[in-house]
């Protein structure tokens, strides 16, 4: 690669060939390295420039690792959805572990998200989460669920035993969520509450029109959270949508829950 900037590329498959390429500045090779991907036309395109210590982890390898880890958990995992932007890849799974939440008349399932990036926007991570099974809404809260990550820096081996232990820890974390769900269900849904959530979160204004359309029949803060997570889970965009899901999960299971503590 010679003096080429990262480009906007169209790559249909997250498992397209990817490679590390040298970088030249004014004809001289520098210590930085480029991450290139083969686009849908068969050409190599630059995604980003990284330092010499950057450790490329191809999505193909990530997929192999997560398959091995999920087998070792002893649970059955069903793919729920996949996100691929050309630089960022995430795949969400739901396990056969389910816990009833009788106060809201629903069931929560343990889930996880595996993610990886070529542009440095995230590490290779496994993030535990919950699913509301009546509508497969994602419930992501980094403050309440564990995660496992491997940095794109240096040579680092995957600790399968640690990853499996973190996932098994999710059983207890899912149960710990139930009292928080009950708290949310005791908070009445009011215009002031909707206004507060709109003002205190960074969701784009365009999303609130769609969320409000889902509020018919809603009575509690839990219902409001479900309307928001439904919108984000089924219509979120790329990594920004994932970050919004995490923010909403932390916000409702933290700040809003504390109102009923």
Residue pair 107/99 in contact (Cβ under 8 Å)? The answer is: yes
* Helix axes 221-235 and 191-200, enclosed angle (nearest 10): 40
Q: Which of 76, 144, 148 lies closest to 114, judged by CA?
A: 148
Are 17 and 83 contained in the same domain?
Answer: no
Q: Return the bridge partners of 37, or none.
A: 18, 45
Are 154 and 101 contained in the same domain?
Answer: yes
Are 82 and 133 contained in the same domain?
Answer: yes
Q: State residue 260's pLDDT score.
A: 64
Are 29 and 68 contained in the same domain?
Answer: no
Residue pair 43/16 in contact (Cβ under 8 Å)? The answer is: no
Are 208 and 156 contained in the same domain?
Answer: no
* The last residue of a domain, from among 142, 176, 210: 176
* pLDDT 10s digits, 86-135: 999 999 999 999 999 998 999 999 999 999 999 888 888 999 999 998 88
Domain span at 226: 185-258
Residues of the chain with pLDDT under 50: 1-4, 6-7
* pLDDT 10s digits, 14-31: 999 999 998 877 777 778
């Amino acid at each position: 690669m010679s003096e080429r900037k990262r480009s906007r590329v169209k790559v249909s498959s997250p498992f397209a060939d990817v490679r590390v390429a040298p970088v030249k500045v004014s004809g001289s090779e520098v210590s930085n390295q480029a991450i290139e991907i083969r686009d849908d036309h068969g050409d190599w395109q630059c995604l980003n420039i990284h330092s010499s210590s950057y450790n490329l982890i191809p999505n193909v390898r990530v997929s192999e690792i997560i398959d091995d880890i999920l087998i070792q958990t002893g649970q059955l995992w069903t793919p729920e959805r996949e996100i691929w932007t050309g630089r960022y890849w995430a795949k969400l799974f739901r396990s056969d572990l389910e816990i009833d939440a009788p106060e809201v008349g629903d069931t929560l399932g343990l889930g996880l998200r595996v993610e990886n990036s070529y542009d440095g926007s995230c590490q290779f991570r496994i993030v535990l989460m919950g699913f509301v099974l009546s509508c497969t809404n994602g419930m992501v809260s980094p403050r309440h669920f564990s995660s496992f990550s491997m940095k794109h820096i240096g040579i680092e081996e995957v600790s399968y035993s640690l990853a499996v232990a973190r996932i098994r820890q999710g059983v207890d974390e899912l149960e710990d969520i139930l009292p928080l769900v009950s708290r949310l269900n005791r908070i009445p849904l009011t215009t002031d509450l909707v206004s507060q959530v709109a003002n205190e979160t960074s969701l784009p204004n365009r999303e609130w029109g769609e969320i409000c359309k889902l509020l018919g029949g809603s009575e509690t803060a839990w219902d409001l959270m479900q309307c928001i997570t439904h919108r984000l889970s089924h219509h979120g965009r790329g990594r920004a949508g994932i970050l919004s899901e995490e923010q909403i999960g932390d916000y409702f299971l933290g700040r809003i829950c504390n109102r009923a503590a």
